[in-house]
Amino acid sequence: MSQIPPDLLEFMETLRPPQGVNPADLLTKYDELMNGNPPPVAATHDKVLLREASGWQLTADISVPFGNGPHPVLVYFHGGGWTMGSPKTHLRVGREFAAAGYLTINVDYRRAPKHRFPAAFDDCVFATQWAAENAARYGGDPKRLAVGGDSAGGNLAAAVLAECSQKGTPKISAGVLLYGVFDYHKAMSVLGSDEPTKQFYLPNDQYESLRNDHRISPISTCTKFPPCYIGVGTKDPIYPESPALAKALAAAGIEHDLHVIEGAPHAFFQLPPLPAYAEGYKRAIAFLDRHLK
């Protein structure tokens, strides 16, 4: 852990930035560590317009693998507490999956507090359907479709799985759920944000009425999920969310791989100096390969 700057490590182990530090500024400060020198890919298409909604241009950065397609497709939703982050803060994540052979569609969904729920959820569902209909234009195979995300993006990815598994379309073959929030209200309680005005994602007047809504807490409707890789570290403050989801999937008889890395903090898929970084990608990609290649 000594290779990670102390202030960044403190943030990832507590999800609270050092006193007086804006978390977005902290991530900008260490952007080179998290995104510098990403693995090469065959091509990139930045800010591809998917649609316009409520004055927001829903775009995605698309990374194309080397080799002859069509490639399996991963629609990816970045983390950032539903309030910050973008495909650019998660550039290296998208490139890692693309370098492993996956056409990766990194989605720039609407963020709170300006755009509260269900804006981000609606964008992610739309982007998944868009990928099913348009991935072939970029060398993707929409019949081999996965969704993934980290932290708040893990919540959104699981919510998309819940929504699409209920509707039956588009067909999603696998999920990659990285240290996500799967029971929103329980996670907010752990983080000390268990009152409407302490969180920024849900409309305050709907906070209670949305308990157990699968769009917020997808663990409540996971019985038809596709196979899922679930990655988390033991030093993540929302660690309990991941084994809880794995337990629910096991009860439903759904194949999954709960990958717990001892001593890893939140966001280790963005921290290349950590051994957990390489270990996480190796296992997540092996899981995807089993189900999509």
Which residues are designated catalytic? Answer: 151, 236, 266
In one-letter notation, the amino acid at residue 226 is: P
Rounded to 10°, the helix 275-292/91-99 angle is: 50
Q: What is the 3-state secondary structure (H, E, C) of the chain?
A: CCCCCHHHHHHHHHCCCCCCCCHHHHHHHCHHHHHCCCCCCCEEEEEEEEEEECCEEEEEEEEECCCCCCEEEEEEECCCCCCCCCCCCCHHHHHHHHHCCCEEEEEECCCCCCCCCCHHHHHHHHHHHHHHHHHHHHCEEEEEEEEEEECHHHHHHHHHHHHHHHHCCCCCCEEEEECCCCCHHHHHHHCCCCCHHHCCCCCHHHCCCCCCCCCCCHHHHCCCCCCEEEEEECCCCCCCHHHHHHHHHHHCCCCEEEEEECCCCCCHHHCCCCHHHHHHHHHHHHHHHHHHC
